[in-house]
Homo-oligomer: A and B are copies of this chain.
Amino acid sequence: MSGLSESQVIQILSEHGGARRTDVVLGIGDDGALLQPPKAQQLVQVVDALFEGVHFPVGITGENLAWRAFGVNISDIAAMGAEPAWATLVLSMPMAEESWVRSFARGLGDCTREFNISLVGGDTVRGPLGVSVQITGFVPPGQALRRQGAAEGDGIYITGRTGLAAAGLACMQGEIQPENEPGEWRQRFLRPVPRLRQGRDLRGIASACLDISDGLLRDLGRLLEASSVGATVFLQQIPGLDELSAMLGEQRALSLSLTGGDDYELCFTVPREREALLAEVSRKWSCECTRIGEISGSEGIRLMRDEREVPLPPAGFEHF
């Protein structure tokens, strides 16, 4: 075990800094990075910070932490319908322990190469374990997906399933101990897979879109607020809810699916006349694409089971 100097940490992280991109004129090592933006594209910038004990439990590996920190940011890029390109990183850690830094660098390398991202800058500081990532991506002008734009009658969709990452976290923390815990659950929390392809395919189809980081109802609520509309959500259409209920009981399953965060699925709305087009493109996706409700003119979210309205569960994640 050895404490690395700042320049050694930077050296290790730079070596694993992901894809070699020809638009990176000058990467890590000067006062700043020098980047060549593509012609006729707009830029999308996102930033998200993860700190130990707040956004992830004590003891997760460096590799998983790096993947998660980049994954959640790439998810924001996906939610805008953009392509990620360049990232900067601020890594705070109590001690620069070499094997941990190398593990972190591996996760960083895996995730950035997977999604063709180049690490172009960063800073390391001594402090509590935390990672801030900032990513810049590209999107054709006028085609970015936004939270506003949903209109009455639009279908409400989600990719994949919600509640699984929160179930994985609950297992890691010993809150629940299901008999046959699917291996996928913890992976969903530790290594979220951003829905980049889906976001890109939704350009010109979705009327509004965001990613689900703090729970389905909470994030859908943000989309509704930005669009000044309301929604009706049909419980029997939430994908995987029955399976989850069979394993964990109905109350826990409902709470996880509707308010559990960290799934990084996309939630989006599609006008009726484009729903056939969505059915076509989503057939090629590797994940489910499910219509879970409909935009209404009234405010707020109405939750329906069969034909009856049911009360909303308490809200999702609050940072302060």
Contact = CB atoms under 8 A, between A and B. Distances in A.
Contacts of A80: 30-32, 34
Interface in A147-186: 147-148
Interface in A3-41: 3-6, 9, 25-26, 29-37, 41
A262 to B, nearest CB: 15
Contacts of A47: 88-90, 121-123, 134
B319 A125 contact: yes
A33 B45 contact: yes
Given A37-B37, A127-B130, A320 B96 contact: yes
Given A42-B25, A45-B86, A88-B47, A31 B210 contact: yes
A49 interface: yes
| Number of chain copies forming the complex | 2
A51 to B, nearest CB: 5
Tell me if A's interface is mostly helix, strand, loop or mixed: strand
A55 interface: yes
Nearest to A122: B47
A34 B26 contact: no
Sorted nearest first, the 10 A-B pairs with minimum C-beta distance are A32-B46, A6-B319, A31-B79, A35-B43, A47-B88, A31-B76, A90-B132, A37-B37, A49-B90, A32-B44
